[in-house]
Amino acid sequence: MVKSIINAMILFALIALTAYLAFHYAPIEKTMGVIQKIFYLHIACAFSAFVAFGICFYANLRYVFTRQPKADWLGVSAAEVGLAFISVVLVSGPIWAKPVWGTWWVWDARLTLTFVLGLLYVSYLLLRSMIEEPDKRALFSALFGIFAFLDVPLVYFSIRWWRTQHPQPVILGGPGSGLDPRMRVSYLLMWGALTGLLILLLTARYRLEAMRASVEELRREAEAQ
């Protein structure tokens, strides 16, 4: 109980830090103006999402080869948390895009990749919800997770290649334009804050899964009596 209060406080502190960085500390960018500030959140979340999915892949491999339930717990936690981060990417992106590009969405390389990535992990979680038996659920979702992760570089290369086949209008003002040192610090600290957030959410979700397993065991004991 105390632990979750402390966690909530850390969560708020991290959020407050990101707010301070974005709205007060970071300077206003020259060409894009205020709207550029969205990138701090957007890019840091994208990075954290990839880290989460990498952890999921590791956990999936570990489960297939060792069959330790803990690996399964880590896998599902990482996938869910990764999906939370991807959602933030997919929401902050369009909010940035509307004033800048005049449209909520374009099927450019990065956005399409992010969308497919999100779909892959939604499918992973859906698959889990469709298999009741815990061992089977762990094994088969891990196997799908492995295939899905191996697909990611292929999706990345194919989408990028596809975009070279069809030349896109040049879009000005990418994230790296005009990097003031305070911007660099903002990016780094934002990335740090969101990594902290990743760890916090991941451990909370992992503990949830561990508790679910102990409930299962207690239930079995109770039924045996």
Looking at the Cβ atoms of 23 and 176, the one nearer to other proteins is 23
Given a contact cutoff of 8 angstroms between Cβ atoms, the answer to whether 53 and 152 are in contact is yes
Q: What minimum distance in Å lies between the beta carbon of 181 and other proteins?
A: 21
For other proteins, the binding residue among 66, 161, 179, 185 (CB under 8 A) is 161
For other proteins, the binding residue among 68, 87, 168, 177 (CB under 8 A) is 87
Looking at the Cβ atoms of 4 and 184, the one nearer to other proteins is 4
Given a contact cutoff of 8 angstroms between Cβ atoms, the answer to whether 48 and 14 are in contact is no
Stretch that binds other proteins, among 49-57, 102-110, 131-139, 168-176 (CB under 8 A): 131-139
Q: What minimum distance in Å lies between the beta carbon of 185 and other proteins?
A: 18
Report residue 51 as tokens: 């880290």
Given a contact cutoff of 8 angstroms between Cβ atoms, the answer to whether 108 and 163 are in contact is yes
- Closest C-alpha among 100, 96, 101 to residue 45: 96
Three-class SS string for 105-151?
CCCCHHHHHHHHHHHHHHHHHHHHHCCCCHHHHHHHHHHHHHHHHHH
Given a contact cutoff of 8 angstroms between Cβ atoms, the answer to whether 26 and 40 are in contact is yes
**84 contacts other proteins (rule: CB under 8 A):** yes
Q: Which of residues 191-220 bind other proteins (CB under 8 A)?
A: 197, 200-201, 204-205, 207-208, 211-212, 214-215, 218-219
Q: Which of residues 17-56 bind other proteins (CB under 8 A)?
A: 18-19, 22-23, 28, 33-35, 37-38, 41-42, 45
**96 contacts other proteins (rule: CB under 8 A):** yes
Task: Give the number of residues in contact with other proteins, rule: CB under 8 A.
Answer: 73
Given a contact cutoff of 8 angstroms between Cβ atoms, the answer to whether 73 and 206 are in contact is yes
